[in-house]
A = this chain, B = another copy of it.
Amino acid sequence: MGKLVIVGTVAFDAIETPFGKTDKILGGAATFIGLSASHFNVDAAAVSVVGGDFPQEYLDLLSERHIDISGIEIIKEGKTFFWSGRYHNDMNSRDTITTELNTLADFNPVVPENYRDAEVVMLGNLHPLVQLSVLEQMEVKPKLVILDTMNFWMDCALDELHHVITKVDVITINDEEARQLTGEYSLLVAARKIHEMGPKYVVIKKGEHGALLFNDDNVFYAPALPLEEVFDPTGAGDTFAGGFAGYIAKTGDTSFENMKNAVIYGSTLASFCVEKFGTERMQSLTEGEVNKRLMQFKSLTQFEIELA
């Protein structure tokens, strides 16, 4: 079992959906990634920053999941990153109401000494230079580096993003962002162009339409599990990435065949995330529930066909 370093936000979210709204609750990319990866009992460390306003119980919640929090800096006089947003009726689009960077504005990530030889590094959505800084602190070349990013960095830090992209093995990105990054509408062509930027593996997340994994001429497609209702999509992409990274860290196998399984685990875990507000569902999730849903994924997608 390998070590996993996760860098990303640990934050407050306030969420409004057609089903209701929350006060400030636990959120952030590193939080969702960590909770998801913790399903695989990997030795994970979160690298992030919070303010003095961040409740100890939230940190305890991560610790209890065996996520090392020594890399989460607490700036007592500062405030924690805060995001609030409102989802539209179709739950596929949202408006950001508030983004308060707070302590994140000057975030200087420090990877704990004993995680600088981690086999897997998951660079959650953050400024590309922060992601780069984490990579540069690794003392042993990781077996797999996974990068998640978003359109915001394409708009305001494209050169830095291109630079860090050259240094990663896997990129996870949504369909619109893949199109923005490459100027290509076809996801097949977009994935090829991203390959040429550096990453050997490209995962394109399509929300309710599933996810695609590309590696040269290999393509794999995992649907999203059709759900009765999507309650809150916040964190689904990070939960997907956390499941992917956690499964790779656990198995230590970076073959395409095993990455297909990592994608299936990522999709499975993400399908739970959206069932309740914020991290609520991920906190109560059991191994039995995950295994049951994996079986649903199998029956959803597997077939036996004979040629005509």
Contacts and interface: CB of A to CB of B under 8 A. Distances in A.
Contacts of A257: 303-304
A143 B308 CA distance: 21
A290 B308 contact: yes
A302 B302 CA distance: 6
Contacts of A212: 226
A261 interface: yes
Interface in A75-102: 89-91
Interface stretch (A27-35, A118-126, A292-300): A292-300
A298 to B, nearest CB: 7
Nearest to A306: B261
A105 interface: no
Contact of A223 (B89, B90, B210): B210
A223 B303 CA distance: 13
A189 to B, nearest CB: 6
B40 A308 contact: yes
Given A90-B185, A307-B294, A308-B250, A299 B218 contact: yes
Contacts of A56: none
A308 B223 contact: no
Contact of A291 (B302, B304, B307): B307
Contacts of A299: 218-220
Nearest to A187: B226
Number of copies: 2
A257 B306 CA distance: 12
A210 B90 CA distance: 19
B301 A301 contact: yes
Interface string A210-232: 10100000111101001111100
Contact of A300 (B187, B221, B291, B305): B221
A260 interface: yes
- Most-contacted residue by chain B among A226, A230, A247, A291 (CB, 10 A): A226
A120 to B, nearest CB: 16
A279 to B, nearest CB: 20
Contacts of A298: 305
B260 A303 contact: yes
A193 interface: no
Interface string A15-38: 000000000000000000000000
Contacts of A129: none
Given A220-B300, A261-B303, A229 B186 contact: yes
A298 B299 CA distance: 14
A234 B303 CA distance: 28
Contacts of A90: 185
A264 interface: yes
Contact of A226 (B219, B260, B305): B219
